Structure 1
């Protein structure tokens, strides 16, 4: 895959997550925020009816799935590591700690994986309900998954952040 195509695919995936988050009353506050040694894909903001503010710091990865086998490979540690780099995980933790240090509370970390289907796949019953990988949305062309940062087994500093997926 060439760089221009990867960028276009990544933007497409980010747009899909933005739409899903907005349907759940989370709104983009920051997009593709440049930080030291990388970037944060999204920071979302939620304000409840009681005035409680919540923030979601998100890393978004997008890929094309060609078969059910390639989809199922995602559910092991090696499969996850194909999508995520240690620096990306560390960046969302560090950025969350910065938000915490600035007095913001209710900070959530999410890793979204958007998988675009190359063919029709039956996915509904392939994820166990106790899996750290959660289905956010199943569309006939793609699926949005959410992964707990701890599941990646990538060493990050201990954090004071509230992590909820």
Structure 2
């Protein structure tokens, strides 16, 4: 599985909201300018994030988007699921269900795909938006370097 452009853009947009939180709504234009994301596509993504309860919007002058939840409660996995749906290695089915083991070798491979998908979901859910923001600010180690410093980016 590859994280889609939507998943990446959604993560970047929410990270921008957290990094620039001044207690006021942020316009789509401002988020697009800060992140380099195309505004029309970003508007669609923010609507999906709103539908998932991750952001709230305010209309009119001074309107824009704010986080609907504390960034420490929002994980990268939640963001990706909000715009892409379930995180899975593929749509292969589960071992021992619906005749999945009727064909040579298929069952063991389904178990592998399922296991790898579980690890991928677990990894994406282990990074809170607040922790990622701290790493972006230089106050916490970057992902992949935490084991070297003896610290953790994960909550």
Report TM bin, short chain.
under 0.3
TM-score, normalising length: structure 2: 0.24
Larger Rg: 2
Which protein has the bigger helix share? 2
TM-score, normalising length: structure 1: 0.23
